[in-house]
Structure 1
Amino acid sequence: MLSSNGNQAQYVYFLLSGTVAMVIIILAYVSVRTTLDSKLREDLGSLQKSYLYVKPTLSWEYNNSWRQIGSKSNHLIYSAYFDNRLDVIDTIVDHETRVPIGSLRIIAILPRQFEDVITCTIRFEDFVDEFVDVQVHPLKEHHDCKFAPYSIMCPLYVNRNNTVMRLPQAIAISYPSNRLSKLSPTFVPISYPRDIDQLFALSKPVLSVCVGTLQQNYSDVLRVAEFIEVYRILGARHFYFYHLSASEDVMRLLKYYQREGIVDILQWNVPPELLPEVHYIGNMAQINDCVYRAMVVDNYRYAAIVDLDEILIPLKHNSLLAFLRQCDEGRTSAYVFRNVFFFKLDSNDSFSLPAHTRNRFLYTQMKVRRTLEILPAHQRSKCIVNTHSIIEMGNHFVWRDAPGYTEAIVPQSVGLLFHYRNQCINCKAQLIVDYTARRFGSLIWDRVDETCGHVFTERGICEATQN
């Protein structure tokens, strides 16, 4: 006869056995579902690339601006991109008759507490289609402001039996609390590759630069010229500037680079009444728009996310591009460079100043003392991202990357972010001498002088601000 303790032990044994069996069944089910989902996405990917795609016949400017949605003055839509990545679509439905060929990624500003169901209205050349299966996410780093930048994803489905796919022209969003958004939709053009043959091509191993928004009538022309020329020496080929307000001379310089095919200038016309209610002029929308623009429109593999006072410096390679070519094994979403400060209040070192130069204050050459402390990763760090791996980008690190990708922290002996601050964070911080940026030699001085001479022929000088 079993004792009560024996019965209890037997009960516990059967309970644990049942729990283990249930866990095994659940894991097996998840494994099968994951395998089936991976196989489905692989099959759909092959089918996706078998179609003939026809780009809309509209004239494409690739220059967006903020537009009001319906009757809500502070509900705004900026841009939309065709994203061919099927692995960023969370759930694939109706794949027997209608198959996904990608998604449409929309950049918008809406209330942070937005709870409406969004409908995407997609306009083709000869008909309009609607989708309700929409993923809506406020972008991180909104700092609890009343309004927040949003990333909205509308899956794009087509009939399975079609062989020719005529891509849509434009897209609008609507939702119940904004009745006019349905009655009179605000359409924005959908951006595709400049060359439609690049729709599914391998990304180009090109380094582009996403620059923080120009604002407060930004007027330091010399800093802009030096910034562009330093990054060009480091291997960058293209720059995206977003313009809210800047001086005439700054815009004159940027338009010179634009004519040279080096710079895109994008309007960032956030309404003045919205600026106090959205964090830092909606910079999360600007960063994510730039990453998608580099990925979709130009098919560039890399984008550096930086401000005008930030230079990503490789310490063991001749250029950032050389660093990427050696270190990128294909599954890294971002290379995170840790931050050190140089301060404008610190004394200038003019030892390397060439006698013939006309533009005589280059901050990367005159400021040679930096903070000894190297800040931890994700604290004021900045990144170079693989654009094709990013779902949501933050100011200092990746918030969400595509499946299979992870970020990498750049060792401090391999690369650092040189951050040239106008105001010191800690004016008593210990400083050390660092001549790394002087390895450009006379090249940076000559390039800046040459550019300023072309743009400002009457004086050959790019003006620098004194504050």
Structure 2
Amino acid sequence: MNTRTGNTNCLWKRDFVLLIFTGLMVLLIYSLTTENMRMIRNLVSKLQEEPVLCPVAISEESITPLKNTKHYLVSAFMDQRVKGFDIRIIGIFKRDSINPLHCSFCCGGVCNKTSPANILPHSDNFGFPYTATDVLCQIPKNCDPSYVTVLTQPSSNVSDHLFIPIRNKKEEMRFNFTVCISNLFGDYNNVLQFAQTLEMYKLLGVNRVVIYNTSCGPELERLLQSYRQEGFVEMVPWPIDRFLNPSRGWLFSEHGGDLHYFGQIVNLNECVYRSMERSHYVLLNDIDEIIMPYKHDNLVSLMNTLEPQHSNVGEFLIESHFFPKKHFEPSGRFHLPQWEKVPGINILEHIYREDPERGVFNPLKMIVKPKLIEQTSVHEVLRKFGERYKVPLEVCRIIHVRVALREYLKLEELNEDKRLWDFQDKLIPNVDKALKRAGLLPAEEQN
């Protein structure tokens, strides 16, 4: 009796252990299977999210020659504002060689899905053989493209063509104000004015400055790299002189060359589209110009006032006022010793303003809402979806320190304008910090 009871107890314990072991194994197998399934699902999801690379050559350059033509592609953007089209390519086309073209897309891993191209040369070409040109394309059905190129024939073999990436597909609005600087060339080295202007724009509320660089001086290069590392400046290489003979002037009949002013109009348009999905406003002006509010502390306050009054306006025109660099403020209070060896103009020393001559053309620059702009020139927007408004000069004007426009004007015929001095307490130390960061102040000043 006792033996049978002991055997029964042992069998019960063995069965209990087996039951526990079996349960643990089932849980372990289920857990491993669930984890594997989760990993597989995540992998499939990632493969679906990440585009399959096309078996074609992708250009990483800012200027891409278009095969079998005399044209060049610059960049491509998603743009569905014009009915019937989805993609806008910014290019440089030779005006006398524009023939029918076709857009070719990379859709996942499938290449050479094509659609006819609509070619829109910009009307402001100033007589030059090459001009800024838009190419509008429709995306083919069942295509989510990542890259695009342009073909002379829809049946062309795409394997020997360079494709460019399509931008603005997943951009987020990150900036309130972006300044677009069309180009630097000719070893430009106006370091002090450059630093003062960039720091002035920071004080006015600008978040990003985009600069197209063909060439600049060594000191300015150091300054720009410092701002680039800081994240305030975005540098776009612009080796236009490798492909064309760019003009140093604005009019072909006077200056010759292939393309207006190193491709200034191309740069401005490219920058508008580059900024379209990430910046609420874009300022289109030169680096030696400051769009300056005169009744507001900054650009944010200025546009917060103008926007409700002019909600349909996409182009705010700002009048340019020249401050001749040959006239200096007499006290010399801003002739600072730490800046004496820094190349360039000290804008704080020039307070005499030359008012524009009425009845003749006066250059204007712009603050634009990029989503309402289709094509822009230097001094006005050519094609837009909104309205135009000229901002009164007492509200906002451009401070442009440069050579005098009307050399014959005497000093007493100019107006004293010390608006820049309102920012001196912050501007001067900020410029010093920027120059020190780039290693551009004398050693004794850095110490």
* Equivalent residues of 1:64, 1:266 under 8 A apart: no
* Equivalent residues of 2:68, 2:152 under 8 A apart: no
Question: 1:79-124 CA distances to partner (integer Å, 9 max, x unpaired)?
Answer: 11112xx4323xx3xxxxxxxxx62111111111343111000112
Say if 2:167 is the partner of 1:187.
Answer: no
CA positional deviation for 1:442: 2.2
* Equivalent residues of 1:339, 1:375 under 8 A apart: no
Say if 2:379 is the partner of 1:419.
Answer: no
* Equivalent residues of 1:336, 1:408 under 8 A apart: yes
- Partners of 1:417 and 1:460 in 2: CA distance: 35
- Partners of 2:297 and 2:282 in 1: CA distance: 18
Say if 2:147 is the partner of 1:170.
Answer: yes
Q: Which of the two has higher C-alpha Rg?
A: 2
Secondary structure of the residue aligned to 2:401 is: strand
Q: CA separation of 1:189/1:81 partners in 2, compared to 1, >3 Å: closer, same or farther?
A: same
Corresponding residue for residue 389 of structure 2: 408
Corresponding residue for residue 74 of structure 2: 78
- Partners of 2:426 and 2:192 in 1: CA distance: 16
* Equivalent residues of 1:337, 1:377 under 8 A apart: no
CA positional deviation for 1:135: 2.2
CA positional deviation for 1:325: 1.6
Say if 2:198 is the partner of 1:228.
Answer: yes
CA positional deviation for 1:241: 0.7
Corresponding residue for residue 269 of structure 2: 288
Corresponding residue for residue 274 of structure 1: 245
Q: CA separation of 1:460/1:356 partners in 2, compared to 1, >3 Å: closer, same or farther?
A: same
- Partners of 2:359 and 2:81 in 1: CA distance: 31
Corresponding residue for residue 17 of structure 2: none
* Equivalent residues of 1:71, 1:181 under 8 A apart: no
Q: CA separation of 1:206/1:377 partners in 2, compared to 1, >3 Å: closer, same or farther?
A: farther
Partner amino acid, structure 2, of 1:312: I
Computed over aligned residues only, the root mean square deviation of the Cα atoms, in angstroms, reads 3.0
- Partners of 1:292 and 1:377 in 2: CA distance: 32
CA positional deviation for 1:348: 4.1
Correspondence for 1:312 among 267, 291, 296:
291
Q: CA separation of 1:432/1:252 partners in 2, compared to 1, >3 Å: closer, same or farther?
A: same
- Partners of 1:271 and 1:181 in 2: CA distance: 29
CA positional deviation for 1:137: 1.1
Secondary structure of the residue aligned to 1:353 is: coil
CA positional deviation for 1:450: 1.0
Residues 240-251 of structure 1 aligned to structure 2 (within 5 Å): 240-251=210-221
Secondary structure of the residue aligned to 2:405 is: coil
Corresponding residue for residue 381 of structure 2: 398
- Partners of 1:432 and 1:274 in 2: CA distance: 41
Say if 2:438 is the partner of 1:455.
Answer: yes
- Partners of 2:304 and 2:220 in 1: CA distance: 33
Corresponding residue for residue 81 of structure 2: 87
- Partners of 1:331 and 1:460 in 2: CA distance: 53
Corresponding residue for residue 138 of structure 2: 155
Q: CA separation of 1:355/1:219 partners in 2, compared to 1, >3 Å: closer, same or farther?
A: closer
Secondary structure of the residue aligned to 2:404 is: coil
- Partners of 1:181 and 1:69 in 2: CA distance: 14
Secondary structure of the residue aligned to 1:441 is: helix
CA positional deviation for 1:434: 1.0
Q: CA separation of 1:262/1:340 partners in 2, compared to 1, >3 Å: closer, same or farther?
A: same
CA positional deviation for 1:240: 0.3
- Partners of 1:127 and 1:295 in 2: CA distance: 28
Q: CA separation of 1:460/1:232 partners in 2, compared to 1, >3 Å: closer, same or farther?
A: farther
CA positional deviation for 1:71: 4.0
Between 355-364 and 117-126, report the one with greater CA deviation. 355-364
Question: 1:326-352 CA distances to partner (integer Å, 9 max, x unpaired)?
Answer: 211332111110121111122344544
User: TM-score under structure 1 normalisation?
Assistant: 0.73
Residues 34-49 of structure 1 aligned to structure 2 (within 5 Å): none
- Partners of 1:324 and 1:55 in 2: CA distance: 39
Q: CA separation of 1:55/1:393 partners in 2, compared to 1, >3 Å: closer, same or farther?
A: farther
CA positional deviation for 1:321: 1.7
User: TM-score under structure 2 normalisation?
Assistant: 0.77
Q: CA separation of 1:186/1:278 partners in 2, compared to 1, >3 Å: closer, same or farther?
A: same
Partner amino acid, structure 1, of 2:149: A
Correspondence for 1:109 among 69, 78, 92:
92
Q: CA separation of 1:343/1:197 partners in 2, compared to 1, >3 Å: closer, same or farther?
A: closer
Partner amino acid, structure 2, of 1:171: V
Residues 4-403 of structure 1 aligned to structure 2 (within 5 Å): 54=49, 56=51, 64-72=61-69, 74-83=70-79, 86-89=80-83, 92=84, 103-159=86-142, 167-175=144-152, 184-192=160-168, 196=170, 198=172, 203=173, 206-272=176-242, 273-275=244-246, 276-296=257-277, 299-329=278-308, 330-353=311-334, 358=339, 363-373=346-356, 379-402=362-385
Question: 1:176-235 CA distances to partner (integer Å, 9 max, x unpaired)?
Answer: 5x9988672221111135xx373xxxx556101001201001112212211110111111
Q: CA separation of 1:333/1:432 partners in 2, compared to 1, >3 Å: closer, same or farther?
A: same
Secondary structure of the residue aligned to 2:162 is: coil
* Equivalent residues of 1:67, 1:77 under 8 A apart: yes
* Equivalent residues of 1:334, 1:386 under 8 A apart: yes
Q: State the identity as a percent.
A: 22
Partner amino acid, structure 1, of 2:420: A
Question: 1:162-184 CA distances to partner (integer Å, 9 max, x unpaired)?
Answer: xxxx73121101125x9988672
Q: Which runs of 5 or more residues in structure 1 are unaligned?
A: 1-52, 93-101, 160-165, 463-467
Q: CA separation of 1:457/1:269 partners in 2, compared to 1, >3 Å: closer, same or farther?
A: closer
- Partners of 1:319 and 1:57 in 2: CA distance: 46
- Partners of 2:190 and 2:204 in 1: CA distance: 22
